[in-house]
Amino acid sequence: MQPWRRGFAPLLSVLLTVCSMAAFPLMGRAQSALGMTEQDIIGAVIATQEDRVSVSAGDTVILDQGRRRGVEVGDRYAVFQDGRTSIHPFTGRPVRVPREVIGDLVVVQVYEQTSMARILHSIREVNLGAAIAPVRPGLGRLSESRPWEGDARDSAQARLNRVSPCLGTVRQTMQRAESSGVQATELAEARGVLARAELAVEQANTLLAAGEAERAAHRLENALADCLRAEELAQRLGVAPVRRTSALPSGHS
């Protein structure tokens, strides 16, 4: 090996490591823009629309904060995603993604111990158990100071808003197919395509956390295509697609 190549290889390794370690700037920007830290977290999402695993902008959720804790209609909360370690889809290196602000929601109905809220914005799917923190008065609209502002992020957001309900519908359709007696072998192709869509969404989330919104948008576009394909395959088996409703069931206290 030539001397310059021997010297370049370690340097390239160091650069890749530094890039991977620096690939989670969203948390710092989000917190500084909102004036919030993890110490502001006071509660969590305890139920989702139709009991789905994850939801996104426009969907409703139930919070563990209610009238007893002073919650009122119109109150706004930031939504956090738990920290995790993901594999960067291009470098193949682990990327540490800290707890970060991924969206905001507004309370639309208040009960004694809980409240119902609508997700206003989200840069990725909001999962059951997601932590919440109140948006302090005087900070202005969260949507106006969003750290993810920009054409690429808006494009990724639009795709995520389409992919999330599609994934939820296909998952429930597959469950209905299993319960109706459809053989696992007949569902194999649809399951494979669905798994590919879910992987693309996970990769897109990692790219968003690394600030690579344009690549994330492309991943989400692929995810949507695979999700629609999985839905088509499931319907060919004679299973009617699950229809979405616009509200959570009543009965929360």
Q: Tell me, what's the pLDDT at 203?
A: 86
Q: Which tens digit of pLDDT belongs to each residue from 173-186?
A: 888 888 888 777 77
Q: Which residues pair with 127 in a beta bridge?
A: 54
For the chain, what are the domain ranges?
A: 17-144, 151-236
Which pLDDT value is given to residue 173?
Answer: 86
Instruction: Report yes or no: 63 and 45 within 8 Å, Cβ to Cβ.
Output: yes
Please give the pLDDT value at position 235: 80
Question: Rounded to the nearest 10 degrees, how much is the dihedral formed by the CA atoms of 216, 221, 192, 233?
Answer: 160
**pLDDT value at residue 31:** 41
Instruction: For residues 59 and 74, give the distance between their C-alpha atoms in angstroms, rounded to a whole number.
Output: 16
Q: What averages of pLDDT result for each successive group of 10 residues across the chain (253 residues)? A: 49 43 38 54 88 81 93 90 67 69 89 93 83 70 46 78 87 84 80 90 82 82 88 76 49 54
Q: How far apart are CA 132 and CA 106, in angstroms?
A: 11
pLDDT number for residue 208: 77
Which pLDDT belongs to residue 116?
A: 95
pLDDT of residue 41: 83
Residue 16 confidence (pLDDT)? 43
Of 168, 24, 174, 184, the C-alpha closest to 94 is: 24
Residues 6+ apart with CB under 8 A from 33: 145, 146, 147
The domain 151-236 having CATH identifier 3.40.1350: the answer here is no
Q: Which long-range contacts (CB under 8 A, 24 or more apart) does 16-25 make?
A: 16/91, 16/93, 17/93, 19/91, 20/88, 20/91, 20/93, 20/94, 20/95, 21/96, 23/88, 23/95, 23/209, 23/210, 23/211, 24/95, 24/96, 24/97, 24/98, 24/100, 24/209, 24/210, 25/211
